[in-house]
Structure 1
Amino acid sequence: MRIKSSMSGVFSCAIPALILSAVQGFAEPQHGIAMYGDPALPADFASFPYANPDAPKGGKIVLGEVGTFDSLNPHILKGTTPWQLRFLAYESLLERNYDEPFALYGLLAESFETGPDRKWVEFTLRPEARFSDGSPVTVEDVMWSYETLGTEGHPRYLGVWKSVESMEQTGERSVRFTFSEDNRELALVIGMRPILKKGQWQDKDFTESGLDTIPVSSAPYTITSVDPGRFVELTRNPDYWGKDVPARQGFHNLDTIRMEFFADSTAMFEAFKGGVLNSNRETDVEKWRTQYDFPAVQSGEIVKSEIGHERPYGMYGFAMNTRRDKFSDWRVREAMLNAFNFEYINDVQTGGSQPRITSYYGNSVLGMQDGPATGRVREMLEPFASDLPPGVIEGYALPVSDGSVRNRANLRRAMDLMAEAGWTVEDGVMQKDGQPFTFDILIRQGKGEDEAIALMFTTALERMGIRATVNMTDSAQFEARSKSFDFDMVYYERGLSLSPGNEQRLYFGSEQADEPGSRNLMGAKSAAADAMIDTMLNAESQEDFVAAARALDRVLTAGRYVIPIMYRYDLSRIAHAKELTYSSDTPIYGDWLGFQPDVWWWEEK
């Protein structure tokens, strides 16, 4: 990669640069960019539609997390950090509007330019941009951040960095990225990387930083109090540089954000009921219906909000590690899906009130359609037909039980599939070549609902001669084992957006399958999936983009990598202090990144 970080040579190349700009389409400064078409908001927009620019400042939100933390650096592989810290304590060149499928607007960058083929993008920093210590955000900080994250940072940053052919300073406040591949999304995602202060890290090992370094950043909040493993508190910076930026109007209204940590979800819920926390998301629908009637709710001090959305439901369930021989055969994975008695489990857990997740992009235009693949979707999949498991092209649906605890028909089907894969029952034990079929299910400690579902699953497996063990581990162990793929089956969550892009390689790409820290937990290696992701990234029409997403959904769902459970995020269910308020104009992404606490405010009732 070519990196030109000094100003020498920049102005001597001014005339060639002008010629290059003309050749590449007379690029002009832009205030916003969308994946397809034009951004919805004009250059003079006042605020994002789901933010209240007149919201008062003040108040405090106290949130809970199950587990612990041992790092304040969310940008490296080592350690566990509070999950929201990556979004609250750092800023990027561009800010996302969650009321559009995928559109970005200037934040640290006052403007940017790109060519019609988006092979390059150039950002110009705002002169007023500052870090929390008062020092200016410079091009040097930007370039150092991109190179460091791309070479030493968390794997989530590595893929995009590999696609950068060159990075060079082109003016006092401007930097240009040129890409090595045709990928129209790169001009957008490159603007979403966190910008760190180079001077803070020059004499430190970035990859080993834990709790000893309080980050200096340009964000509206700074970390002001830490008790290792117990809580992190952030305070709104009264001198925040970006208070007049349109993409920040109505954001970051609360004075204090505190994140408390608990050993398990029961302890966290009791802390919420006792007033230690003043906001709590609930994913257990039955618990939301039956246990949120405690005195503070009855008196109106706590209110229950249900927030809908138009995004894909994503995938939640139990992922099978296909790196392990026992789960490398799709027939074994289909057997597990048949043995998982969803209808009975759902009745026990939710009274049958929650429908099952049926595909990765369900609830959206990107979701696979019932029946055989047709049209562009079929055209995209047919070159890979010989390597695809049954159902991808022909059509696939999850097994459905009769709802009884015995689940006889599906268990018979599961036994037949195991036999086809070479597994037989001898002396009551499922085995092959003398080796019993046993496996563990890894679950994060404190996730009682997930444990209960897994235990009902293991009971069904016993009838097949299979011994499965539920392994509950604390957050640190769960993260370490997940990152190193040290599991047979693991509880799996994957939220997905209306504009899937480069992150799909990290989630489902073959290249990431064996990369430690990859989010491809199931170890999927599918040439068809890789091709669909590439098509999505390079699609020049909405038709091809949607077709590629639907084809990918088919490859993943019929790949039988995950045992899906019930919808948990069809609605966001948040119980909160009556003073905590949000706009009724919620974004199409609903309660997503950038919603709570970003656009909430405190209003005395």
Structure 2
Amino acid sequence: MALASAKSLLLLGMAVSLLASSTGAKAQEEGQWRVGIATVGELKHPKGFERFDYVNPNAPKGGTLRRSADGTFDTLNPLLAKGEAARDISLVFDTLLKPSEEELSASYGLLAEGISYPEDISSATFRLRAEAKFADGKPVTPEDVIFSFEKAKDLSPQLATYYTHVVKAEKTGDRDITFTFDEKNNRELPQIVGQLIVVPKHWWQATGPDGKPRDISRGTLEPVMGSGPYKIASVVPGSTVTYELRDDYWGKDVNVNVGMNNFKTITYTYFADQDVAFQAFKSGTIDFRQEQSSSKWVTGYDFPAVNDGRIKKEELPNIYRSVGIMQAFVPNERREKFQNPKLRRALNYAFDFEDLNKTLAYGQFQRINSFFMGSELASSGLPQGRELEILNEVKDQVPPEVFTTEYRNPVAGDPAKQRDNLREAVRLMKEAGYELRGNQMVNAKTGKQLDIEFLIDSAGMERTIMPFVQSLKKIGINANIRTVDAAQYTNRLRSFDFDITVKLWATSPNPGNEQADYWGSAAADRQGSNNLAGIKNPAVDTLVKKVIFAKDRDEQVAAARALDRVLLANDYVIPQFYRGELFIAYWNTIVRPTELPYYGIGFPEAWWSASAAK
């Protein structure tokens, strides 16, 4: 059984922290220059720390890491939302701050040597390192940061949402950039700005090798330039991309980079079929695999390289310690047929999780029952205390069962329970305006049969969804699966052109502005947002703001739990499955640190090549 978007968890470096101040001079008057920021707790490392604890400072440099990627790619532009960017293109670029995987929510300076902000967090000022340079030797300047910010906001709907309250970025010193916010006390705004990928303004505004001006608003397969540890060594469009470690990387000795960036080359080979990718791993042409199929994890790794120890399998909880997970089937409310919550609840009754878990996942998963599954933000029992007070503020706008009934998914797993659940699904469908006529579930007014199409981009997911499709057909729904290539899938999701799809949302322990992109009304009509369900609910909007502007941790947890209850009670999604471990397998050609960071696995940055160690 596949965790549909599990690959996003390895890219989940987007949940850490940062700062603020109104001008470079004012920053030093009102605050102080800091090495980083923690939005939960205090920074672990003081000014002048040598390195992160989990890295091997003597890790050898050299060797090759060979990885697989799904689908295809058609651009090397790191800021453009259109198209499919090459995997790990971020290796070419640095950010203002770098997250720490050994802390719950902390970031330290990378391009920025210092950060400062006033008490009300009305702005954030970053001071660039004097030694920070792009690959052509030119310094990273405030103008580059401002250009990157403005273009990211223009070209990425998701970043436009994140930066909604960042009203301007301006140069406030020779190496200082100040971001001004239109609201105060939003602790996450400086953090988000700190994660900005910084691109070279001069390179993008110059003429390319074809004699034509470069255009950052368009895709490109020209090897792009950045200030990061790697450069693009070779590209075969849609097939392979190889990154090569730069010997002249300016930041190789910066404390947050010590023991990092050890592979001389990192190559991605793209596969349209996961089974073919797995065979490539088994044959030794791919070094590392994150397994997304629990059944394959149990039954597919009985071959010589595993049995004799050349391939190591590990089940790691690290990443899941820092995120709350919701993975689900997502009905698109922009389509009228999914606007009735009774119909959406009926779909949940038709989904037999227990049987699927037993037959395809060997009982390894548990059912998701929260939008923050696995974290302290998850609601449980009935609301009380501050959480209840918050919910009472929106009492007239939420289903009454929020206050009286703990959310529970239907339970099946045997023929009798499944029949009972399907009968309940039919009853709910009738309340939603549908009825069974013969063997078809039809709209009671129009007589038209209900059609549902599941949109996916991986043939490997079909066997996970097929039992659900068959259950829907038992109650007269004409359900089918549409599998498309990665590019078409991405474009259809961005334009919300689907009936039902599968989505994984991962929330950091410090939820904030991303919640508006996930569930907010403004995001529902903005193409490219993560509000795939099309939620437009004033109560949800109110609760999202309470999460973002919580004055302390207790208030934040209470607001998140209240939001969780309202999202669940409206049956916006059909929750899928959860397991709090990451399945990884890797050849003895690569080596990991002895102690992995508590909230991550340090891959690939802190790993190294076995051949380089010889």
TM-score (norm 1): 0.92
After superposition, the CA RMSD in angstroms is 1.9
Asked whether the equivalents of residues 330 and 389 of structure 1 are also in contact (C-alpha less than 8 Å), the reply is: no
Please give the per-residue CA displacement for 1:320-374, whole angstroms capped at 9, x wherever unaligned.
11111111111111100000011111111112222122212121111112x2111
Asked if residue 222 in structure 1 is aligned to residue 231 in structure 2, the reply is: yes
1:513-552 superposed matches below 5 A:
513-552=524-563
Matched positions, count: 578
Q: 1:401 aligns with which of 409, 412, 432?
A: 412
CA distance in 1, matches of 2:569, 2:227: 44
Asked if residue 436 in structure 1 is aligned to residue 439 in structure 2, the reply is: no
How far off its partner does 1:313 sit?
Answer: 4.6
Q: Which residue of 2 aligns with 1:342?
A: 353
Please give the per-residue CA displacement for 1:533-560, whole angstroms capped at 9, x wherever unaligned.
2222222211001111212222222232
Asked if residue 602 in structure 1 is aligned to residue 609 in structure 2, the reply is: yes
Q: Which residue of 1 aligns with 2:15?
A: none
Asked if residue 501 in structure 1 is aligned to residue 502 in structure 2, the reply is: no
The range that moved more, 44-53 or 231-240, is: 44-53
Q: Which residue of 2 aligns with 1:445?
A: 458
Q: 2:141 aligns with which of 138, 151, 167?
A: 138
| One-letter code aligned to 1:50 | Y
Asked if residue 111 in structure 1 is aligned to residue 114 in structure 2, the reply is: yes
CA distance in 2, matches of 1:350, 1:27: 53
How far off its partner does 1:408 sit?
Answer: 0.8
Q: Which residue of 2 aligns with 1:6?
A: none
CA distance in 2, matches of 1:38, 1:574: 31
1:317 is paired with a residue of what secondary structure?
A: strand
CA distance in 1, matches of 2:194, 2:24: 23
Q: Which residue of 2 aligns with 1:209?
A: 219
Q: Which residue of 2 aligns with 1:123?
A: 126
Asked if residue 76 in structure 1 is aligned to residue 90 in structure 2, the reply is: no
Asked whether the equivalents of residues 68 and 277 of structure 2 are also in contact (C-alpha less than 8 Å), the reply is: yes
Asked if residue 582 in structure 1 is aligned to residue 582 in structure 2, the reply is: no
Q: Which residue of 2 aligns with 1:425?
A: 436
Asked whether the equivalents of residues 441 and 469 of structure 1 are also in contact (C-alpha less than 8 Å), the reply is: yes
1:424 is paired with a residue of what secondary structure?
A: strand
How far off its partner does 1:389 sit?
Answer: 3.1
Structure 1 gap ranges (5+): 1-15
CA distance in 1, matches of 2:372, 2:328: 14
1:130 is paired with a residue of what secondary structure?
A: coil
Q: 1:386 aligns with which of 388, 396, 415?
A: 396
Q: Which residue of 2 aligns with 1:3?
A: none
How far off its partner does 1:36 sit?
Answer: 4.0
Please give the per-residue CA displacement for 1:10-49, whole angstroms capped at 9, x wherever unaligned.
xxxxxx9699558xx7311111111144322111222123
Structure 1 residues 17, 156: closer, same or farther in 2, change over 3 A? Answer: closer
1:195-594 superposed matches below 5 A:
195-202=198-205, 203-211=213-221, 213-309=222-318, 310-369=321-380, 371-389=381-399, 391-394=401-404, 395-404=406-415, 407-432=418-443, 433=445, 434-446=447-459, 448=460, 450-568=461-579, 570-591=580-601
CA distance in 1, matches of 2:328, 2:143: 43
Asked whether the equivalents of residues 105 and 509 of structure 2 are also in contact (C-alpha less than 8 Å), the reply is: yes
Q: Which residue of 1 aligns with 2:63?
A: 59
Q: Which residue of 1 aligns with 2:18?
A: none
Asked whether the equivalents of residues 321 and 327 of structure 1 are also in contact (C-alpha less than 8 Å), the reply is: yes
CA distance in 2, matches of 1:48, 1:529: 39
| One-letter code aligned to 2:223 | I
2:344 is paired with a residue of what secondary structure?
A: helix
Structure 1 residues 390, 475: closer, same or farther in 2, change over 3 A? Answer: farther
1:288 is paired with a residue of what secondary structure?
A: helix
CA distance in 2, matches of 1:18, 1:34: 21
Identity of aligned residues (%): 38
Asked whether the equivalents of residues 313 and 357 of structure 1 are also in contact (C-alpha less than 8 Å), the reply is: no
| One-letter code aligned to 1:269 | F
Q: Which residue of 1 aligns with 2:196?
A: 193
Structure 1 residues 400, 112: closer, same or farther in 2, change over 3 A? Answer: same
Please give the per-residue CA displacement for 1:166-204, whole angstroms capped at 9, x wherever unaligned.
322111111111111122211221111100000121133
CA distance in 2, matches of 1:512, 1:123: 29
How far off its partner does 1:390 sit?
Answer: 5.0
Asked whether the equivalents of residues 78 and 207 of structure 1 are also in contact (C-alpha less than 8 Å), the reply is: no
Asked whether the equivalents of residues 74 and 219 of structure 2 are also in contact (C-alpha less than 8 Å), the reply is: no
CA distance in 2, matches of 1:17, 1:170: 6
How far off its partner does 1:231 sit?
Answer: 0.7
CA distance in 2, matches of 1:118, 1:62: 43
How far off its partner does 1:603 sit?
Answer: 2.8
| One-letter code aligned to 1:458 | V
1:162-201 superposed matches below 5 A:
162-182=164-184, 183-201=186-204
Asked whether the equivalents of residues 324 and 509 of structure 2 are also in contact (C-alpha less than 8 Å), the reply is: no
Asked whether the equivalents of residues 284 and 587 of structure 2 are also in contact (C-alpha less than 8 Å), the reply is: no
